[in-house]
Structure 1
């Protein structure tokens, strides 16, 4: 028998509950009609319907993609009754408090969430029940697999009911709505066409596209005129009413199982507060209509003691009794994950085996008790900073304390970095690590902080349990990690943490704080010109293809390319035709619309991924500087990654990338300086393999790619075939075989194989060395980089394809990871030397390149010093070389 998932159209359901029930009120006069309807619905789950999974879909605040399509979308909505607005957030907060799960995505409506869940659930073989009476969701109905359930009338709405009510099938519902429009959502439709006309047209022609393809065959002249006048609005309306299926929220179905504990009893105190005890009496007497258990109080592991220090005497007493040589874990609680906006709310610390403390500073809610003053908190942190401090994700707390108290924390150890060093493939979050090693489930942030609030709103006693647990578990994890490094004979890795990795955190914090200036005027110009270009391409695509459609919809594009235009394609899958870049490039000469589509995608990505987000970030502050976040533990190879925004994936070779890079500029009186390690991975290959020909080439400062071409093709062809030699040089470092090399060079695999064999004959030691990396990884289950950082591989449970991938990754990590080691060493040394020097700031690291902002009049002097540091940071068998560029934008460094 099929399992069932029930999806609640939450706001739609709550609105209907409000209007369906009388205006009930608590004794204090608070409206409770909506809340009563909601709790009655929860109590009847299992009675009105049976389900295996349940999820509450929510609307995100702010605009959606539909507002981008049509400015007037939902522009004329009537004001919502005040009593409804009062109850709505309370009902929403009850959902998670009762143990149910919500689904929400920024930029999408609840209907899109419902559509996505329905689509994904069907793929998983589930029956889908949508609790709603909203006609916008009729388009999702499909046989008896996906249907609506009206909770008021307690009836199922299936295909037959849709046909009976509207005269069209669910699969035609978006076409029907496109004609009819929707005054509630301000969807225009075709002006003058009503329900009966829309029904008749759909019954005759089936789809909106077919109606417009057959305008000449429409007998009624008035209908034809109305359709012609509103063609654009009709197709726009179809885009507006068509629900997105791109919000994948049920990948882990187990999250949506009905709660095991009685959900209504979990909020019994709140229900009593609103004089809703009758429902409690009923539930206490009869239980729920689905199987639950009485909630049990969560027992703290090993009698852990969490102590609130909410007066200055007790805080001072505890701080002053910490032994001088104690290791102290430390953690902050704040109002925001963005350190630049976050205000500290409190901090926790621990130094004993099963005891931790929480110091509240800035909790803010009605009736909040006394807290510690900022000055007392500051003095306590100064005292704690004299001990060996251990933190989880030190960079965040370092920046918080620096921004809020102007104190620079001194790190002893970061458990997140140690988790990463122990296994670069594994999650490094505290919750995961604690569950793994101590089988203890930590208090979840979402269970403490309500939706729409921050930590300052949390009750101090609850905050104490949550924050103190973090501190205590960080200390426990650190002690466990010390054992693990010893057990795994990885003491050199632990030493690497203390010698390099912990120092590197300060470098990243400083770079994040520095930020980089953006030319907002240039970005505004780019935004305008690129928008016009996108509009021009859109018009050309419509003209060339002969049909208007949503170019950003892979499904619609697939239909146009492979059905309307009948271009050759692979077989259609359940999700539609593939229209990715590889497919389009394969069709480049098949139709003139393909180059236009590729240009459109590049321009659209440029606008949405780079121009608009960067401009928005640049306008947030007066100095127009943007601040990325560097992820120390973001890759298995050891390379840095960045986010919010990601500055490491801006295209290098394209015109689009060069336009974006031109917008990164120095502040007045300064210049940008780019210093790039030259062929660092090939130099590492020479160092590790000790190949005589490679070592000689680098020691004599010869062009390595030209020398390789000479060795493979001879002097006469070397100049002409240098680029081929370059592809081979770098390709072999990343485990490239003859097929991939052939594809890269546009030659046969057989010819590529000959090139590779010629290379290995010329550089005799390289083949043996690359083979030795693979053998070592396979035998030991790991490889070590230049500085002995490990990457683990689980060959035992891998199939043949995965084993081959592991061997390629082992070779790749040896060179990428070792290069990351070298640049990290350089960054730490440069940071220590120039930390308090206003003449120079380190701004970005993009793999093998560092970008600095240097005072213009002394730039040449500083460049000489930076070059000296980077070229002498580590002694290899071949010299390290850097290339240097100076310019008034990032692009000018190229």
Structure 2
């Protein structure tokens, strides 16, 4: 039997791009789509021989489906610029490699494919359709027609279709007529989801069968939805019908697979785009790319007249990159040494202000610099980690910065949330450019103020020049919807974080010092007791010495061993709790020592530096892949609260005299998002009616009589499933066998079947399109095509986790941005964001009224299918807010 392979061209190219979205060659040219395409061709004939192959394309212009429904495929967002750049190259490659394209005016690629399938079946050919389009699943015919997934390298037959959608291939058209297809703007029947559609088709087989039996449908809601959606249902069936009568017979001989390796015909192109693996398979090494010619000119601004002349070139429409140089990294105390800016393709300017070394020339005065920065702030200002520069400018010049026109660090993070987003890393990644390193210009023990002006000019000017280059590059690469998100949320959020950091939060030094003294006294006692119980005196903080004592001297069973010795991490010690009386003391010692070294001592040191005893954490906007904030120096996001002393740390953060702290915490926000996204009726009803969701879950799992006693089990399951918790992890959490935990999970999914379908659909959709989206459309990419089995499992967990954690992060960012003067009043200040909680400092007499306004703002920030709820607490210290 001969084989025909048909490529659904645009869908195939889109999938390749999103699977490898950020690949570039050393010249910064995008290569992700091209790499995926070349890999596919390289392996196609080796892994799945084919006699015929062609590429089906959509014709330009409208098709007969637009006559049926003018809204068909309307409002599709423009693809990312990098994808648009690669598409014409890939289409050229098709012909250069000796393949053929096929398109017909007025029809889509789907119709070409359906017609080719019909022709091939007449002549007893096997057909492999390379696509991810749901419409084309209706062509599956076991033994004759399969869908092929090139990333998973697997064929999808009728059984796989049923497993994926719950219906047979012959029912796919009816299935899509019921649920619709948002990507093509096919309406379907509003309110009928995948589960409802499956049930209806199981019972009545076809769309016509469903409508012929409306009176026999017992579900009143579905019956009403079907009655109201009849017109859209049958319109959708017309839109998803495939034309299989187009004349493709005459072209078949042109579709023969080329006899010579097709990739040999594009060897020069493969070298140009540096596709090294493919070239090595062809028996040739890629040419070593020439190092990029340095076209950057660093210009030192020597006097006020020169600076003024340059400034005359700037208008409010000028896109200008801006960067500061300082004598330190602590923005609370750092003094500005100079600043750089760039608005032309090949120049960067450096303005020195406070270099300090023997023989240093005269520099620009602070007054002149201030006026220049004011002018720069009226332009379209582009920054890299602008929060740092804005805080420096605010503290040194008392200038309020604008919302940045763009921040390249944030743009790079939106493009690839898990990648490095520092300037040096981005320059190397996108342009193959090695930046001048800080360590090469600043000697150990000195600051930037000691650097000679000419050398400082090259270093600083390069920073501004590269930031401008990155801006233009990233704007091309990002999907337009992500750029809109950045402008609406992420860029304004820079100023919100800056204001929070500058305010800081007051620390009660006396209280923390007493905690430190108690901890040190207890650590001394624990040290003696541990030494006595183990019969050895050793450094408890040395994992190597501790491992030797536990596993060699005491002969305790070793759980795992690393290259550097025995592992003594918390999980290992927890597993040994019953093996020796010293283990419990070691765990207590570890907890106390962490509190002492991570919180008590650093907080006291930071508070002592501030005249008002306030500490100023650094919130990292790009610190996580999910979108949650993280913080450092000090880390206030992860203060341990499991022990009494850990909880006491929070009591050391206090309000000023006559002021109070107000904490407003989103209640069960991620479970509410689960209800919103999954539309599970039981979850939606429970939240809409204000019920205790954990109690409701316990009732469903264990019945009314046992529900209250087992509420905590239900709570662990509710939250655990959002983070991809399996039976083993749930069993560990609850202290029960994995088999029993697996039974709980199965009972949960039996009780909330829509939830299981939804979580599975997230994973499947992520595999299909290569990314997952949060509530506001922020994306996180996963390279499923190159994932190991272990990575694959991690990606499945993280894709689900990102939807909920990322969407919760979206909501709380929106709320923080909305905290304007109408909510805050004249005096209330936002101090901290700790996951789903906001902490404010408010005059005591205004606290109640403010809390009411802020609570309303947070609960009305976004319309979900279930109400958003918050809890409010007021107290003199942070510990009183829980």
| 1:563 Cα deviation from its structure 2 partner | 2.8
Give the equivalent residue in structure 1 for 2:440.
Answer: 447
**3-state SS of paired residue (1:376):** helix
- The 5 A counterparts of 1:439-518 are 439-485=432-478, 490-518=479-507
Provide the rounded CA distance (Å) in 2 between the counterparts of 1:834 and 1:614: 31
- Among candidates 696, 700, 714, match of residue 685 of structure 2: 696
Matched, 1:890 2:882: no
Contact 1:682 1:729 in 2 (8 A): yes
Give the equivalent residue in structure 2 for 1:841.
Answer: 829
Q: Do the aligned partners of residues 553 and 539 (structure 1) sit closer, same or farther apart at CA in structure 2, a change above 3 Å counting?
A: same
- CA displacement 1:733-767 (0-9 Å, x = unmatched): 01111111112111122211111111111112100
- Among candidates 733, 751, 773, match of residue 740 of structure 2: 751
- CA displacement 1:130-184 (0-9 Å, x = unmatched): xxxxxxxxxxxxxxxxxxxxxxxxxxxxxxxxxxxxxxxxxxxxxxxxxxxxxxx
Give the equivalent residue in structure 1 for 2:809.
Answer: 820
Provide the rounded CA distance (Å) in 1 between the counterparts of 2:844 and 2:836: 24
- The 5 A counterparts of 1:243-642 are 301-410=293-402, 411-485=404-478, 490-570=479-559, 575-642=564-631
Give the equivalent residue in structure 2 for 1:880.
Answer: 868
Q: Do the aligned partners of residues 629 and 324 (structure 1) sit closer, same or farther apart at CA in structure 2, a change above 3 Å counting?
A: closer
Give the equivalent residue in structure 2 for 1:226.
Answer: none
Matched, 1:784 2:776: no
Contact 2:411 2:486 in 1 (8 A): yes
Matched, 1:733 2:726: no
- The 5 A counterparts of 1:38-49 are none
Give the equivalent residue in structure 1 for 2:31.
Answer: none
**3-state SS of paired residue (2:772):** strand
Q: Do the aligned partners of residues 700 and 522 (structure 1) sit closer, same or farther apart at CA in structure 2, a change above 3 Å counting?
A: same
**3-state SS of paired residue (2:780):** strand
**3-state SS of paired residue (2:739):** helix
- CA displacement 1:765-799 (0-9 Å, x = unmatched): 10000000000111111100000000011111110
Provide the rounded CA distance (Å) in 2 between the counterparts of 1:546 and 1:739: 37
Q: Do the aligned partners of residues 449 and 752 (structure 1) sit closer, same or farther apart at CA in structure 2, a change above 3 Å counting?
A: same
**3-state SS of paired residue (2:358):** coil
**3-state SS of paired residue (1:351):** strand
- CA displacement 1:5-25 (0-9 Å, x = unmatched): xxxxxxxxxxxxxxxxxxxxx
- The 5 A counterparts of 1:223-242 are none
Q: Do the aligned partners of residues 747 and 502 (structure 1) sit closer, same or farther apart at CA in structure 2, a change above 3 Å counting?
A: same
Q: Do the aligned partners of residues 713 and 412 (structure 1) sit closer, same or farther apart at CA in structure 2, a change above 3 Å counting?
A: same
Give the equivalent residue in structure 2 for 1:63.
Answer: none
**3-state SS of paired residue (1:329):** strand
Q: Do the aligned partners of residues 769 and 856 (structure 1) sit closer, same or farther apart at CA in structure 2, a change above 3 Å counting?
A: same
- The 5 A counterparts of 1:25-104 are none
Contact 2:823 2:854 in 1 (8 A): no
Give the equivalent residue in structure 1 for 2:69.
Answer: none
Provide the rounded CA distance (Å) in 2 between the counterparts of 1:327 and 1:572: 55
Provide the rounded CA distance (Å) in 2 between the counterparts of 1:338 and 1:563: 46
Deviates more, 1:382-391 or 1:765-774: 382-391
Contact 2:823 2:850 in 1 (8 A): no
| 1:327 Cα deviation from its structure 2 partner | 0.8
Provide the rounded CA distance (Å) in 2 between the counterparts of 1:324 and 1:300: 32
Q: Give the alignment's Cα RMSD to 1 decimal.
A: 1.6
| 1:501 Cα deviation from its structure 2 partner | 0.3
Contact 1:635 1:641 in 2 (8 A): yes
Contact 2:538 2:545 in 1 (8 A): yes
Give the equivalent residue in structure 2 for 1:654.
Answer: 643
- Among candidates 677, 692, 697, match of residue 708 of structure 1: 697
Q: Do the aligned partners of residues 616 and 302 (structure 1) sit closer, same or farther apart at CA in structure 2, a change above 3 Å counting?
A: closer
| 1:555 Cα deviation from its structure 2 partner | 2.0
| 1:561 Cα deviation from its structure 2 partner | 2.1
| 1:354 Cα deviation from its structure 2 partner | 1.1
Contact 1:690 1:765 in 2 (8 A): yes
Matched, 1:852 2:844: no
**3-state SS of paired residue (2:785):** coil
Provide the rounded CA distance (Å) in 1 between the counterparts of 2:348 and 2:552: 66
**3-state SS of paired residue (1:853):** strand
Contact 1:302 1:354 in 2 (8 A): no
Provide the rounded CA distance (Å) in 1 between the counterparts of 2:708 and 2:532: 46
Provide the rounded CA distance (Å) in 2 between the counterparts of 1:360 and 1:299: 31
| 1:543 Cα deviation from its structure 2 partner | 2.0
Give the equivalent residue in structure 2 for 1:665.
Answer: 654
Provide the rounded CA distance (Å) in 2 between the counterparts of 1:304 and 1:588: 62
| 1:348 Cα deviation from its structure 2 partner | 1.1
User: Quick one: higher RCO (CA 8 Å, sep 6+), 1 or 2?
Assistant: 2
- CA displacement 1:522-547 (0-9 Å, x = unmatched): 11111112111111111212222222
Provide the rounded CA distance (Å) in 2 between the counterparts of 1:640 and 1:780: 26
| 1:322 Cα deviation from its structure 2 partner | 2.2
- Among candidates 721, 732, 752, match of residue 710 of structure 2: 721
- Among candidates 788, 805, 810, match of residue 794 of structure 2: 805
Deviates more, 1:548-557 or 1:450-459: 548-557
Provide the rounded CA distance (Å) in 2 between the counterparts of 1:324 and 1:373: 24
**3-state SS of paired residue (2:566):** coil
Provide the rounded CA distance (Å) in 2 between the counterparts of 1:503 and 1:740: 39
Question: Normalized against structure 1, the TM-score is what?
Answer: 0.65
Number of corresponding residues: 592
| 1:301 Cα deviation from its structure 2 partner | 4.1
- CA displacement 1:489-545 (0-9 Å, x = unmatched): x11110000001001111110111111111110111111121111111112122222
| 1:655 Cα deviation from its structure 2 partner | 1.2
**3-state SS of paired residue (1:604):** helix
Contact 1:507 1:831 in 2 (8 A): no
Provide the rounded CA distance (Å) in 2 between the counterparts of 1:572 and 1:827: 46
| 1:578 Cα deviation from its structure 2 partner | 2.3
Q: Do the aligned partners of residues 336 and 769 (structure 1) sit closer, same or farther apart at CA in structure 2, a change above 3 Å counting?
A: same
| 1:323 Cα deviation from its structure 2 partner | 4.0
Contact 2:559 2:572 in 1 (8 A): no
Q: Give the unaligned 5+ runs of structure 1.
A: 1-297
| 1:455 Cα deviation from its structure 2 partner | 1.1
Give the equivalent residue in structure 1 for 2:850.
Answer: 862
